[in-house]
Chains A and B, each alone.
Chain A
Amino acid sequence: MTAPDAGLHLSISNVSKRFGATTVLEDIHLGMAKGELVTLLGPSGCGKTTLLRVVAGLTHPDTGRVELAGRDITRAPPYKRNVGVVFQSYALFPHLDVAGNVGFGLKLRGLPKADIASAVHRALSLVHLERYADRPIRALSGGQQQRVALARAIAVEPSVILFDEALSALDRKLREAMQSELRHLLTQIGATAIFVTHDQEEALTMSDRVAVMYKGRIDQLADPRTLYDQPATAFALSFVGQSLSLKGKVVSSDADGSVVETSAGPLRVPRRFLRGSSVIVATRPEHVTLTAGDNTLTGTVVGATFQGSRSLVEIDAAGTRLTAEMPGRCTLPERGETVIFSWPLSETLSFSGEEHA
C-alpha cells in the first residue's frame, strides 16, 4: 500500500473491483487537489462509472482506499460521505417540488427553516431557476431538471460532486451551452468535481485533467493539452481527437529513433524500438501537408470536403484510409488524384503494437 499523498483533497489508491470473473477496476490511483475538475473518459464498460460509484460509496471496492478531505471513507456508507451526485437520469424526487428537491439534504441535516429557504434560493439562483421554486418536477423541461439536479447536489455543499454522464440526456446544443456554464459555475463555487463521460469534447471542455480509462485501468491521466499532444497509448490517441495511424514493423533503430516499415512505406519515429517489433505510427490530421517532408507518403485522394474554417482530405495510402486536415481556403486536390503528403518528425507519435490489441 502506498501512502496517500498529503494535501490531496480526494485520494484513491490501489482500488480494484471484480464482478465475478470480470475485473472492472484494476489498481486505480487518482489524487485530486481541492477545486480540481477531473473527467473519467472512456468507452462503455471501461470502469469509469464503477469508479465513480466507489467514490460515492454505492459500490465497495475489493481492495484499496478512498480518502476524502483527510478522512478514510473506504467503508463509510454513502449517506455519511458528504459526496454529491448528479445522476444521468437526474433521479429527482417526483413527489416534491423544485424547492423540496433542492432542500431535501438540508432538511435532513436539521437546519432551521429560514436557513434552508435561503440556501435553496442561493442554489437555485446559481442555476437560474429561482423563479421555479414551487413548480412540480414534471412541469420542467429536461434542461431545467438537469439544473435542479445540480442545484440539489450543490445545496448541501458536498466535499466533492460527481457527475455520472449528467449531460448526456440533453440535446447537443443545450449540452454544449451547459458544459461551459457548468464549468464556470463549479469554478465560481470552488467545487471539486469528477465527471464521467464517453464524450471526449465534453472531457476536454470541462476538466483540468482527464483520466482516459480502458479495460478497468487509467491509461493516461493528464491535462487536455498533454493528452492531445502526447497520448500515452494507442487507445488514448484513438479516443481523444482525430488521428491517422499505420501499423508496421521496425526495420532499423538508432540513437535518434527507429524506422518503421508500413504498408504505405517507411516512416521515421523519434523513439527507439526493438528491431522486428510491431509499432503503430500516428499523427494528428492538422500536421499533415500536401508537400514532401520528414515522413512522406504517396496516396490517392478518395474525397475532399470543405467545412468552412477547415477542409478534410481523405487519402488512400496502400489500402489504409487517412484523413488530413487543411486550412479552409486552400485549393483542394481532385478525387482520384495521386498526391504526396507528409508530416514532421516532431509531430510523429509511436506506440508499441503490443500495448493494446
Chain B
Amino acid sequence: MTEAMPAPPKLSDPERRTAFLLSLPAAMILLIMFILPLGLLLGVSFTGPEGFSLAAYQRLLTTPHYLSVIWNSLKLALVTTALTFLIGYPASFAIARARGGWRSLMLGCLFLPLAASVIVKAFAWTILLRSDGIINSTLMLLGIIDEPVRMIFTQTALIVGSANVFLPFMILPIFAVVAQLDPRLGEAAAMLGANPAVAFLKVTLPVTMPGIIAGVALVFSLSVSAYVVPTLLIGERYPTLAATIAKAYLLTQQPAFGAAAGVVLLSIAIAVVILSSRFGRSSGGLS
C-alpha cells in the first residue's frame, strides 16, 4: 500500500514545524484517550497481590475453561468473517454494478442499520428467533412444524446475528475497491483467452484483494471482541473473551485478570490486522 503513495515532498524547516503543530491535536487525543489507557491496562494486567505478577496470564492461558473461551471468540470471529465474506463479496459487485437509484437503495439498506445500536439489532434477533417469536409462529401457522424449534441461544443464532451486524463492514471496503474497477477488466481477460473461472482467479480476485483484506481485518477484529451480540443471542452457553472481561470487572472484581484478557484479545486483533496487510502486500494487491 505504501509503495503506491507518491514520495512526500521535501519540506523546509518552517513547513515541518507547521506540519508538526497541525498533527498535534490528533496526536494528543490519541495519546490521552487511547495510548494512556492501554498503558494502564497493560500495567494492571501484570499486577498481583504482591506487586508484579504473571498470575493473571497464567490463569488465562493454562486453565482449560479459559482456553475454550479464547477459542470461542476466535471461532466466532473466523466463522463471522468467512460468512460475511461469502455474502459480502458478491453483494459488493452487485452494488457497484447497479445503476443510479438501485445503487442508492442498496447502499441505503447497508448504511441505515449502522445508525441503529447493536443492542437494538441483537434484541431484534431475539424477537425473531425466540420460541414464540415471528419465525416459529409463522412456521407453526403454516403447519411446517408442530412445536417451536429452538433457535435462540444456539450457535446458529449467534452466527446469524453476528454476520448480520458486521456485514456492512465487509461490504463497504470491498465495494469501495470494486466501484473503482474498470468493468472491462474481465472482458480484457476473456479476450486474452481466460475462461470465467480463470479470469476471476487471475484478475478479479487479486485486483479486489485490498478491499477483501480491509474487510476481513475489520470484521475479524470487530467480531472477535463482540460483547453485545454473543451476550444477547447465546449468553452463558458460549462464553467469549469479551464477556469474560466484563465479568472480571463488573462481577468478580478481578481487574488484573480482566486486563490480561483484554491484552490477549487486543493482541489477537492486532496480529490479524498485521498478518492480513502482510498478505495483501505479498499477493500484489494494488493500492
Pairwise interchain contact A91-B182, C-beta atoms closer than 8 A: yes
Contact residues in A for B184 (Cβ distance below 8 Å): 87, 89, 91
A268 sits at the interface (CB 8 A)? no
A96 to B189, CA, bound (A): 12
Within 8 A of A (CB), among B241-255: none
Within 8 A of B (CB), among A78-96: 78-85, 87, 89, 91-96
Given contacts A79-B194, A108-B192, A95 and B207 within 8 Å (CB-CB): yes
Pairwise interchain contact A108-B194, C-beta atoms closer than 8 A: yes
A77 sits at the interface (CB 8 A)? yes
Contact residues in A for B286 (Cβ distance below 8 Å): 94-95, 138
A131 sits at the interface (CB 8 A)? no
Which of these, B4, B182, B192, B209, contacts A104 with CB under 8 Å?
B192
Residue in B closest to A139 when the chains form the complex, CB atoms: B4
Against A, the Cβ 8 Å flags (1 = close, 0 = not) of B199-212 are 10011001101000
Against B, the Cβ 8 Å flags (1 = close, 0 = not) of A51-88 are 00000111000000000000000000111111111010
Pairwise interchain contact B192-A105, C-beta atoms closer than 8 A: yes
Most buried by A among B190, B191, B195, B199: B191
Contact residues in A for B4 (Cβ distance below 8 Å): 138
Pairwise interchain contact A91-B198, C-beta atoms closer than 8 A: no
Pairwise interchain contact B195-A85, C-beta atoms closer than 8 A: no
Contact residues in B for A138 (Cβ distance below 8 Å): 4, 286
A173 sits at the interface (CB 8 A)? no
CB distance from B179 to the nearest CB of A (A): 14
CB distance from A102 to the nearest CB of B (A): 10
A82 to B209, CA, bound (A): 29
Most buried by A among B190, B207, B209: B190
CB distance from B118 to the nearest CB of A (A): 35
A156 sits at the interface (CB 8 A)? yes
A94 to B4, CA, bound (A): 12
Pairwise interchain contact A93-B193, C-beta atoms closer than 8 A: no
CB distance from B287 to the nearest CB of A (A): 8
A85 to B209, CA, bound (A): 26
Contact residues in B for A209 (Cβ distance below 8 Å): none
Pairwise interchain contact B188-A91, C-beta atoms closer than 8 A: yes
A48 sits at the interface (CB 8 A)? no
Residue in A closest to B181 when the chains form the complex, CB atoms: A94
B133 sits at the interface (CB 8 A)? no
B271 sits at the interface (CB 8 A)? no
Contact residues in A for B190 (Cβ distance below 8 Å): 57-58, 77-79
Contact residues in A for B235 (Cβ distance below 8 Å): none
Within 8 A of B (CB), among A105-131: 105, 108-109
Residue in B closest to A97 when the chains form the complex, CB atoms: B284
Pairwise interchain contact A152-B192, C-beta atoms closer than 8 A: yes
Residue in A closest to B210 when the chains form the complex, CB atoms: A95
Residue in A closest to B192 when the chains form the complex, CB atoms: A105
Pairwise interchain contact A77-B185, C-beta atoms closer than 8 A: no
B48 sits at the interface (CB 8 A)? no
Pairwise interchain contact A156-B193, C-beta atoms closer than 8 A: yes
Pairwise interchain contact A93-B207, C-beta atoms closer than 8 A: yes
Pairwise interchain contact B187-A105, C-beta atoms closer than 8 A: no
B285 sits at the interface (CB 8 A)? yes
Pairwise interchain contact A91-B194, C-beta atoms closer than 8 A: no
Which of these, A78, A89, A95, contacts B191 with CB under 8 Å?
A78
A153 to B190, CA, bound (A): 12
Contact residues in A for B207 (Cβ distance below 8 Å): 93-95
Pairwise interchain contact B187-A77, C-beta atoms closer than 8 A: no
CB distance from B197 to the nearest CB of A (A): 10
Contact residues in A for B209 (Cβ distance below 8 Å): 95
CB distance from B99 to the nearest CB of A (A): 15
Contact residues in B for A82 (Cβ distance below 8 Å): 193
Pairwise interchain contact A91-B193, C-beta atoms closer than 8 A: no
Which of these, B185, B191, B195, B198, contacts A93 with CB under 8 Å?
B185
A96 to B182, CA, bound (A): 15
Which of these, B187, B193, B199, B285, contacts A58 with CB under 8 Å?
B187
CB distance from A225 to the nearest CB of B (A): 33
Contact residues in B for A152 (Cβ distance below 8 Å): 192
Residues of B within 8 A of A (CB): 4, 182, 184-185, 187-195, 198-199, 202-203, 206-207, 209, 284-286
With contacts A78-B191, A95-B285 known, what are 13 further pairs, Cβ within 8 A? Answer: A57-B190, A79-B199, A84-B191, A85-B187, A85-B188, A87-B187, A89-B184, A91-B185, A92-B188, A95-B286, A105-B192, A138-B286, A156-B193
Residues of A within 8 A of B (CB): 56-58, 77-85, 87, 89, 91-96, 104-105, 108-109, 138, 152-153, 156
Could you write out 25 A-B pairs with CB less than 8 Å apart? Answer: A56-B191, A57-B190, A58-B187, A58-B190, A77-B195, A79-B193, A79-B194, A81-B191, A83-B191, A84-B191, A84-B192, A85-B187, A87-B187, A89-B182, A91-B182, A92-B188, A93-B185, A93-B207, A95-B285, A105-B192, A105-B193, A108-B194, A152-B192, A153-B191, A156-B192
